[in-house]
Amino acid sequence: MASSTATERSPTKTDTSERVTHEAPAKRPAAKKAPVAKKSPVAKKAPPVKKARAAKKALTARTADKHILYQMSVQAPAADSRAYARWFKKYTGRDLRAWREDFCGTSVLSCHHLLNHKDNTAVGVDFHRPTLDWGIKNNVNELLDDEQKKRLTLIESDVLKVTAPKVDCVLALNFSYQVFNTRQTLGKYFKQVYKSLKPGGVFYLDALGGPDVMQAKTDRTKHKGFTYHWEQRSFDPISHRFVCAIHFSFPDGTMKKNAFIYDWRMWTLPELLELMVEAGFDDAHVMWEGTDKETMSGNGIFRRKDVGDMDEAWISMVVGRKK
């Protein structure tokens, strides 16, 4: 059963691009159109059974489950779990077996990591018990067999308090670490991640920015049976406080408003890199997302770069390696 309680080669600087998906606004607003949210494709393989069934029903604000909607519009766990494994191997020369997903939510990404190889193990950390329980019921129990469940450990805890078990890779995705709004607290988190990694382990986190992201606006993306709304509610240039929300609307005219609300500090790339170095990480660097020339939005392909592009909105990955 899945636990639900706490408790070699040097990388080169060659191109290590990989395709992954993230919740984000468009890199650049389309001319004479409402900006389009960055693509968040539905996973095309091994989706949870209940998600597949829900997609066939006529959804309304009353009947739709916000976690299912989020997974359908924001996440692509089958593709992304494989992408991080390939990315890790390109960077380290080793297979990615033991990973930890911080702010894991419904644990769907970690479930797919376990499905990818019989020797893979996953630790998921989140302090919100109801979301962990939803994930156990709808993802863990739907996707994994008994043997796979034994390789999953879910920890109900603050990520600032977890350093065990030691893993090869820690992921902090969908900008969730931005709940830490002081340099001291974020630095403490990075140091905890460093302690959690085995020698040569890798830390991945995503970041976003650009002038378009600092505007009050709402991007909309249509999906089968509903529309996903990403609202950038406010941005304070002094504190970098960034308040956003996700809403879902349906063909019958109803809306599931404020399904998710985020009160973040938007951290800059220099700050993140500096904090990684201060925490002890080696070879801290940025993987920059390219642009789809037709849509002018992110193409999901990340390449290591020392100088970024002057995009109206951008997504990147910040990477650090334990010595």
Q: Cα(61)–Cα(255) distance, rounded to whole angstroms?
A: 5
**8-22, 24-38, 282-296: which has the highest mean pLDDT?**
282-296
pLDDT (average), residues 108-126? 98
| pLDDT over 70 (residue 14) | no
Ramachandran angles phi, psi of 112, nearest 5°: -70, -30
Q: Is the pLDDT of residue 55 over 80?
A: no
Is the pLDDT score of 36 beyond 70?
A: no
Taking 50 as the threshold, does the pLDDT of residue 25 lie above it?
no
Gap between the Cα atoms of 148 and 110, Å rounded = 11
The closest alpha carbon to 207, from 299, 125, 289, belongs to: 289
- Residue 71: what residue type? Q
- Distance between CA 275 and CA 279 in Å, rounded? 6
**One-letter amino acid of 124:** G
Interaxial angle between packed helices 183-196 and 269-279, expressed in degrees from 0 to 180 and rounded to the nearest 10 = 50
Arithmetic mean of pLDDT over the chain: 87
Residue 33's pLDDT band (cuts 50, 70, 90): very low
pLDDT at 60 over 50: yes
pLDDT tier, 46 (very low <50, low <70, confident <90, very high otherwise): very low
For the chain, domains (ranges, CATH) are: 18-209+267-321 (3.40.50.150)
SS3 letters across 196-239: HEEEEEEEEEEEEECHHHHCCEEEEEEECCEEEEEEEEEECCCC
Q: What average pLDDT does range 2-26 have in this prediction?
A: 39
Pairing between strand 98-102 and 121-126? parallel
pLDDT for 297 equals 83
Per-residue pLDDT, 210 = 96
pLDDT surpasses 60 at 196: yes
* Percentage of the chain lying above the pLDDT 70 cut: 82
Tell me the per-residue pLDDT of 77-113, one tens digit each, with 9 for 90 and over: 999 999 999 999 999 999 999 999 999 999 999 999 9
What are 176's two structure tokens? 């969730």
C-alpha closest to that of 264 among 293, 287, 243, 291:
243
- At 201, the amino acid letter reads G
Instruction: Read off the tokens for 231.
Output: 């609202």
The DSSP code for 137 is: I
% of the chain at pLDDT higher than 90? 79
At residue 198, does pLDDT exceed 50? yes
The Cβ of residue 268 has, within 10 Å, a number of other Cβ atoms equal to 11
- pLDDT per residue as tens digits for the range 237-261: 999 999 999 999 999 999 999 999 9
